[in-house]
Structure formats: C-alpha cells, structure tokens
Amino acid sequence: MTTSSTTHSRKPRNFLNISMASLLSFSLFSIFLFLSLSSSSTTTLKTNSHHPKKQKQKPRPNEPPSSASTTPPEILQACKATRFQDACISSLSNPNVPRNPTPLEIIQSAISVSNTNLKTAQSMVKSILDSSTGNINRTTAAKNCVEALINSQYRITRSTDDALPRGRVKDARAWMGAALLYQYDCSNALKYANDTSLTRQTMSFLDTLMAFSSNALSMIVSYDAFGNETKSWGPPKTERDGVWELGSAPGSGGHFGSGFRGGFPSELTADVTVCKDTSNGGCYKTVQEAVNTAPDNEWGHRYVIHIKEGVYNEIVRVPLEKKNVVFLGDGMGKTVITGSQAVGQPGISTYNTATVGDRSYLP
C-alpha cells in the first residue's frame, strides 16, 4: 500500500516538471524571436537613414500659380496706377496683350477686358429680365440695368474708337468715367430686386466688372498726367486726398481744346421750333416730336431745338443715337418742361423719374 501510494504521487510531480520545462522553453524562444526582429528592424532603420528616398514636392492645391513671373514688366508697372492691382495683372497676363506693350496699348487692353466682361454682364441681366415676367419690381430693375449697360458700352466704345486714337485723353477719361458710373447704376438698380440666386450672381459679377473698368480709368488718368512715364504712375488722387488738378500733360487734348472755359455757345441757329400755338404751322407741338426729327449719329453739327415760351407737360427722352442735340428756350421761368413721374408709381424707379433724359432701351 505504501509503495503503491508513493508511485501514484510521483506522476503529478513529473507532469508539473514537464509543463514548467515547456513553458520555460517557449519563453526563451519568444525572447530570441523578439531580439531577432528588433535587430532586423534596427538594421533596416539604419540602412534607410543612410539612403533616404527623394520625394517629389507636390504643388499646393489652393495655391494659385504666380503670374508676376510671366507678366511683362511694362504691365506690372502700369498696374501700379490701379486700385485693384492683382485683378489688373491677372487680367492683362494673356496672349492677347502685345509683347513689350506701350502704355497706350496696355490701356487699350485694359479697356478691352472691361468691354468683354460687360458683354457677359449684359447677357446675365437679359436672363434676369426674361425670368421676371409678372414681377414688376424685378422687371423694372432689369430694364433699367439693361439700359444702363447699353449706355456704358457706348461710352467705352467712344473711349477706345474715337478719343484715345485721336489723342483726346481727357475725353477718354470722361467717357470711361461715365461707363463706370452706368455700371454702378445697373448694380444699384438690382439691389432693390435682389430676391433670386441669378440676381445675386449678377451683382457679384458686376463688382468684378466695375473693378476692371476702374483699373482702365485709373491708367487713363495717369496717362493724362504723366504720359509714357509709367514710373510716375500711381493710384488716382482726388480732392479728398488734398490733390487738385492744375493742368494737364501737353498734347492730352480735349474736344473743346485747352482754351474752352464753358459758357453758353454763341451764334446758335434753330433747326426746328417747338411752340404752344401750332395754328400758323412751322413748329412742333411737343419737345419729343422735335427731338425725333434730329438726324442719327450726326457729330459734325449741333441740332438746335428752339422751345418757345410756355409750359410743356411731357416726359422727354433723347435716344442715344441723337447726337449734339441742343435745347434753346426763351429764358428761365418762360420755357418750362415739367413731368409728373415719381417713385412709387407702378414700374417707376428713381432712374425713370427724370423729366428730360437720354434713352437707349425701348421696352
């Protein structure tokens, strides 16, 4: 019994010894494997540190390419005369601008940029008008905007096709300044009908258009003051900056010449007459009838309309193609033209309330 008991008690002890030996062997194998992997990893890191891979630098997606490095220096210098220099440089950095451009060519290119964007604005405003059926407020605003942009385009054309080629820089200033003002009038008209996404997009685009037109005007002002000396060009300054223009560059010219000081033109001869009593013939009953008889696009002759004493209750519109129309009355308080249009009437905005004004858009 004793022997049997002793034999039986040794079996668990042997099993325990075997288990501990197995566990010890497994632990030693794990430590060896860990040391081997660590040594291999260290070797790899050392190898990579001695032979780093060259990585190509990728351009930043939100970083626009610099146009200054490819822009002619003449344009960079001329754009210093503008209020929106980045827009000036980017808009003139294109193949359409001549190589080594003269100051006048740069100005012409800047005006061309304005004119191109003006056509886009006209298309956008026309879309607003076409989509505004039944909305009197937006329809009126769009019509006013269409008319204003037509007036703007006409004055841009006068600046590039007539004034600048003939050396009449002051005339070009006046035309381009008026073009910019009409663009502002368009934006101001839409401000009161800003109830669609298309209207908001158009107003945003008009801001861009006005920046381009402002840049062209600024360069014309510098050209008028300093000529081809672009190093003297700078953003225009006005009376608000304490600057008054005392003269102009030689040869800048103007339609009336440097000796014109304003005043009433002398020796005017009436081409047609307007009178209250038409029984004797020889005169028109309304001022508008007389305006309609003026020739179209006549630049070489003033068309004088003599308006005799009386009160003429009418709204007068002079179409854009009627040039050099002169109204000659019989004196203050004697010849009176009066109308009764006011804001608040259906389809009437401030833009439409003038008693006598121009007209470029016929609804």
**Lowest-confidence pick of 146-150, 249-253, 299-303:** 249-253
- Residue scoring higher pLDDT (358 or 134): 134
- Residue scoring higher pLDDT (18 or 308): 308
What percentage of the chain reaches a pLDDT higher than 90? 53
Is 359 within 8 Å of 147 (Cβ atoms)?
A: yes
Beta-bridge mates of residue 284: 274
Q: Which residue has the tokens 């008054």?
A: 244
**pLDDT above 70 (res 270):** yes
**What is the per-residue pLDDT across 273-286, written as a single tens digit (0 to 9) for each?**
999 998 888 899 99
The segment with the largest mean pLDDT, out of 3-7, 223-227, 278-282, 353-357, is 223-227
Confidence of residue 61 (pLDDT cuts 50, 70, 90): very low
Residue 358: name the closest of 317, 323, 321, 325 by CA.
Answer: 317
**Lowest-confidence pick of 4-13, 113-122, 191-200:** 4-13
How far apart CA 142 and CA 110 sit, in angstroms, is 27
Does an H or E element contain 325, and which?
strand 325-328
Q: How confident is the model at residue 300, as a pLDDT?
A: 81
Q: How confident is the model at residue 93, as a pLDDT?
A: 86
Q: Which residue has the tokens 């800003």?
A: 194
Q: How confident is the model at residue 51, as a pLDDT?
A: 47
Token code pair at residue 322: 């009627």
312 contact partners, CB below 8 Å, separation of at least 6:
274, 276, 286, 287, 335, 336, 337, 338
Mutual angle of helices 136-158 and 103-130, in 10-degree steps: 160
Count of positions (residues) in the chain: 363
Where do the H-state alpha helices sit in the chain?
Answer: 2-50, 73-78, 85-92, 103-130, 136-158, 169-191, 197-226, 287-292
Query: Does pTM surpass 0.85?
Result: no
- Phi first, then psi, for residue 56 (nearest 5°) are -75, 135
12: number of Cβ within 10 Å: 9
**pLDDT above 90 (res 124):** yes
Residue 361: name the closest of 163, 185, 194, 213 by CA.
Answer: 185
Could you give the angle at the alpha carbon of 69 between the alpha carbons of 66 and 73, nearest 5°? 130
Instruction: Calculate mean pLDDT across residues 44-68.
Output: 43
Q: How confident is the model at residue 84, as a pLDDT?
A: 95
Q: How confident is the model at residue 26, as a pLDDT?
A: 53
Q: How confident is the model at residue 10, as a pLDDT?
A: 47
Instruction: Calculate mean pLDDT across residues 318-331.
Output: 91
**pLDDT above 60 (res 78):** yes
Beta-bridge mates of residue 273: 306
Q: Catalogue all structural domains in the chain, each as residue range(s) with its CATH number.
A: 73-237 (1.20.140.40), 272-359 (no CATH)
Residue 77: name the closest of 106, 114, 115 by CA.
Answer: 106
The segment with the largest mean pLDDT, out of 68-82, 156-170, 230-244, is 156-170
Beta-bridge mates of residue 335: 310
Q: How confident is the model at residue 206, as a pLDDT?
A: 97
